Amino acid sequence: MKAAQLHKVGKIETRPLQVEEVELPVPRRGQILVKIEAAGICRSNLHMVEGEWVHMGVPAKYPIIPGHEIAGRVAEVGEGVTSVKKDDKIGVSPLWTSCGSCEYCLTGREQLCWKRDITGETVDGGFAQYILANDGHIYPLPAELDPVDAAPLFCPGVTAYGAIKKVPLGPGKKLAVFGVGGVGHMAIKYGKLYGSDVYAVTRSDLHLALSEELGATPVDAKKDPVAQLNRLGGVDASIVFAPSSDVAMQAVRATKRDGTIVLGAWGGVPDFPFYDEKKVVGTLMGSRQVMREVISLAVSHKMLPVTETHPLDEVNKAMQELKKGEVKARAVLKPWG
């Protein structure tokens, strides 16, 4: 099969991903071979490829195939797999597998499992024509859901929805989303679905325009976003998808007393006003049940990502565009052209 492999981390401008022929994987017991029809490109893929996460042991092996938001069809099933059959439409998320027996797995928080495997970081991922998936961590996809629309649901969709579920929303509530991109634009959609007033904070003119298209009020981060939001009386909740401590503190200062700030990217809050009784919580993807809800919402309420497509051979080019802020929302690879 054809796959984009990372043999050594490096700046994306040096084209570190090599598109080459590799051996087709064979499913073992409890595994499924998936023919990939679409795979989203996440900024975390860029962080890994450029070596920013080496100190955390990511990638866990070389060579490795990145990519963790995948839609495709069952090509072959291993022994013991009865949940799907050949040609079934399925998706694969960043959570490739979890132990199933720890306190987190047993309480529906398997994304926090200490023994989890992450697609494209500890095992080979989706920048390829096929991938091995683990039974129990796959998701049936409705026939009407296009794979290009479906693939980003498995990271931006579940991550944004998982964050949204941590904040009090509803009619009359104000939500600020700091960082509008692949994940942030989905948070805007979910916030609007809950009936809240959504404010999208970004420095990018491209993303300011996207925010307005999605029904949010754009807030230009180049013009003191805290002052702009506080003139409205502040917001009830903020969600941060921009990896910056400065942005995290902006969210803290723009959120009302007793409000909630959700951090979905690296960032610190060094000057936290404890006396305002604000809450700061982290978020990581979502459980398998949350993922199922995301798929259901995609069909019932058209909660679909904004996408643009590239062939697999253009993976380095597409990731360079992401780095330069030229991707409107989510770039998706189509490994079969």
Identify whether residues 120 and 181 lie together within a single domain. no
Question: Domain range spanning residue 32?
Answer: 2-155+286-294+304-334
Q: Pull the structure tokens for residue 267.
A: 């960032």
Return the CA Rg of the chain.
Answer: 20
Tens digits of residue pLDDT in 205-257: 999 999 999 999 999 999 999 999 999 999 999 999 999 999 999 999 999 99
Distance separating alpha carbons of residues 118 and 96, to the nearest angstrom: 5
Contact 177, 187 (CB under 8 A): yes
Q: Pull the structure tokens for residue 30.
A: 């409890």
Identify whether residues 145 and 16 lie together within a single domain. yes
In the chain, the percentage of residues whose pLDDT exceeds 90 is 99
Distance separating alpha carbons of residues 102 and 124, to the nearest angstrom: 24
By C-alpha distance, which of 24, 19, 23, 15 is closest to 3? 19
Q: What's residue 151's pLDDT?
A: 98
CATH of the domain at 195: 3.40.50.720
Q: Pull the structure tokens for residue 36.
A: 């990939």
- pLDDT of 55 > 90? The answer is yes
Tens digits of residue pLDDT in 141-180: 999 999 999 999 999 999 999 999 999 899 999 999 999 9
Distance separating alpha carbons of residues 220 and 204, to the nearest angstrom: 8
Tens digits of residue pLDDT in 290-310: 999 999 999 999 999 999 999
Indicate the number of domains in the chain: 2
For residue 132, name the pLDDT band (cuts at 50, 70, 90).
very high
Distance separating alpha carbons of residues 298 and 53, to the nearest angstrom: 32
Residue 95 in domain: yes
Identify whether residues 132 and 11 lie together within a single domain. yes
Contact 115, 89 (CB under 8 A): no
- pLDDT of 127 > 90? The answer is yes
By C-alpha distance, which of 333, 250, 255 is closest to 38? 333
Distance separating alpha carbons of residues 128 and 47, to the nearest angstrom: 19
For residue 337, name the pLDDT band (cuts at 50, 70, 90).
confident
Across 16-31, average pLDDT: 98
Indicate the SS3 state at residue 95. Answer: strand
Measured at the alpha carbon of residue 11, what is the angle toward residues 263 and 153, in degrees to the nearest 5? Answer: 45
Residue 259 in domain: yes
**Exposure letters 39-78 (e unless 16+ CB within 10 A, then b):** bbbbbbbbebbbbeeeeeebbeeebbbbbbbbbbbbbbbb
Residue 264 in domain: yes
Contact 155, 183 (CB under 8 A): yes
By C-alpha distance, which of 154, 176, 206, 190 is closest to 322? 206
Identify whether residues 140 and 168 lie together within a single domain. no
Distance separating alpha carbons of residues 10 and 96, to the nearest angstrom: 25
Distance separating alpha carbons of residues 238 and 254, to the nearest angstrom: 8
CATH of the domain at 6: 3.90.180.10
Note the pTM of the prediction, 2 decimals: 0.95
In the chain, the percentage of residues whose pLDDT exceeds 70 is 100
